[in-house]
Structure 1
């Protein structure tokens, strides 16, 4: 294997993490790398740290630009890519030393357009590995295009994340990330994976996905509603290209709509006139019959939908009652996962 692999790392105000990220890339057992660090207008020492690494290793190229967001930084990096394969790594995450070697070997062995690595949820002192969906002792899982798109919609084994995957560069070069949105991967991933013939999932975790201590309720903003916009775009895409997966896409969209309505209720100051809650309510009622059909095999979701249709607050009361009586078991990331010290 002598193919060049380009690694794109968008950087913005991560001086506490970026050293670990870049060091993990430089320590890869596969050395034919092009490392593109895009400093997206950092106001801390992140840019200087990147430049210091570039002085020590000729494989590193540092690009500086005005702050344009994660999508803009990735797009800038993609324009500079010269490798046959491209990998995105977020600057607060890090990777195992043999990640690129294993993924490239897998891509060549199975002629895979994209290779996905399993990953760790990395907390301050421990990691979690999803052994419900992956078995470290088993070989890669291979998916054809239709299997892949179904997995993407379900979002259990195939995640939206752009990071932690090795792409044939020709597959993504002309598909830029959407600028100015949060959850940019949701807008991007279905367009890319639609082009894939063979997709390989390496079941061993090689990527550490940093989990910062923050509450979604406390940090919620109206930009989080971009998630709904992305899923709505995806639903239309699935409806057009994968008709038989349409109801599954509707189910995922419904769950997101209900969750974000409740988050807006808990953050009324950010939706003072109720405009965004009204938009969500209208979206649900407009496609009520389809959502009802999509949720037929999930009784709890079906109950939520029916109660929401009567009045959104009845559903909220129902959820609170379920939680209080312990009838509703929220799926924590830690349930059924393998835990290890970091």
Structure 2
């Protein structure tokens, strides 16, 4: 058996339809020295029973049941049972290529990496999307030191905030808990982990499938989606303390996120009838205008959006609508599409 044990933590809640696909993709990995921790987060469907059935047929599987507390609470609970040298988080509606873990542990050992990140597919019911804007599938691994990693994390293009799709040395993350009761919990967590990382390796080959469910908690817009702004603000305080050279980039990301959510709140006025949340965003941008203006001085598009918003948010809204219309009639170019393919390819 392979010498290094890898613990795979799978939080489970109301995924009866997808659970077999997920667990099958883990137990059939070409790397076999696994500890598979299935965390039944008080799921009201048959998930707990399905998980127990797997445990009877595979002694690598440990099932733990708990009262429902959300994704963060389930991950935190699962980590308590980890005995492996490495940890991989898998969301229970996603699935893995059968060679994913073998390839990731080999890269980790070859580069002495604290964390290894795999590329992934956005998986829809009928097709897959691969983000090929920043790298190609056959590109060699990318090695990042701590400063480069934190820069990429803040930019959120090549290094995503997602906790899943990454193989971590257990010692790096064991004592860093996920924030409970929030959406986009990974945004609150990732920077604390990456701060400890000396060597981070990106595998450009997509080895996992990020399923895009129409009924997922993030697919229907609610005020809970605003948690991401709270997470970015919390991270910004961390950046100000430890990575001062990234302060402008952090402000830029916060501004762009605030503007996006102001538009979404305006488009979904029924959930912000009195404009409470829009007012909070507007006041925050106003109070930090000087910092935001400095951060976008080299970004024409975002600079224009900030300028229009500062005059009146409605002008920003009109600008977005006009941009959308001009793209539709091909006067303005569309953003480059992601690579698309079917499952049979």
The separation in 2 between residues aligned to 1:64 and 1:11, in whole angstroms, is 10
The separation in 2 between residues aligned to 1:127 and 1:14, in whole angstroms, is 20
User: CA contact under 8 A between 2:115 and 2:168: conserved in structure 1?
Assistant: yes
Which residues of structure 2 form unaligned runs of 5+? none
Alignment deviations for residues 66-120 of structure 1 (CA, whole Å, 9 cap, x no partner): 1100000000001110000000000000001111111001111100000000111
- The TM-score, its normalising length taken from structure 2, stands at 0.95
Corresponding residue for 2:343?
341
Specify the SS of the correspondent of 2:230. Answer: helix
* CA apart distance, 1:197: 0.2
The separation in 2 between residues aligned to 1:214 and 1:291, in whole angstroms, is 35
The separation in 1 between residues aligned to 2:141 and 2:326, in whole angstroms, is 42
Structure 1 residue 33 corresponds to structure 2 residue 34:
yes
4+ aligned runs moved over 4 Å, structure 1: 214-218, 327-330
Closer/same/farther in 2, CA of residues 180 and 328 from structure 1, 3 Å limit: farther
Structure 1 residue 209 corresponds to structure 2 residue 195:
no
The separation in 1 between residues aligned to 2:234 and 2:280, in whole angstroms, is 16
The separation in 2 between residues aligned to 1:239 and 1:223, in whole angstroms, is 26
The separation in 2 between residues aligned to 1:226 and 1:82, in whole angstroms, is 32
* CA apart distance, 1:337: 2.1
Please list, as runs of the form range in 1=range in 2, the aligned pairs for 1:179-258 lying within 5 A after superposition.
Answer: 179-213=180-214, 219-258=220-259
Tell me how many residue pairs correspond in the alignment. Answer: 340
Structure 1 residue 138 corresponds to structure 2 residue 139:
yes
Corresponding residue for 1:71?
72
User: CA contact under 8 A between 1:131 and 1:338: conserved in structure 2?
Assistant: no
Specify the SS of the correspondent of 2:341. Answer: strand
User: CA contact under 8 A between 1:145 and 1:198: conserved in structure 2?
Assistant: yes
Closer/same/farther in 2, CA of residues 49 and 258 from structure 1, 3 Å limit: same
Corresponding residue for 1:84?
85
Alignment deviations for residues 281-322 of structure 1 (CA, whole Å, 9 cap, x no partner): 011011111111111122111111011111111110111122
Of 84-93 and 131-140, deviating more is: 131-140
Structure 1 residue 301 corresponds to structure 2 residue 306:
no
The separation in 1 between residues aligned to 2:294 and 2:91, in whole angstroms, is 38
The separation in 2 between residues aligned to 1:115 and 1:124, in whole angstroms, is 28
RMSD between superposed Cα atoms in Å: 1.6
Specify the SS of the correspondent of 1:97. Answer: coil
Which residues of structure 1 form unaligned runs of 5+? none
Specify the SS of the correspondent of 2:80. Answer: helix
Closer/same/farther in 2, CA of residues 287 and 217 from structure 1, 3 Å limit: same
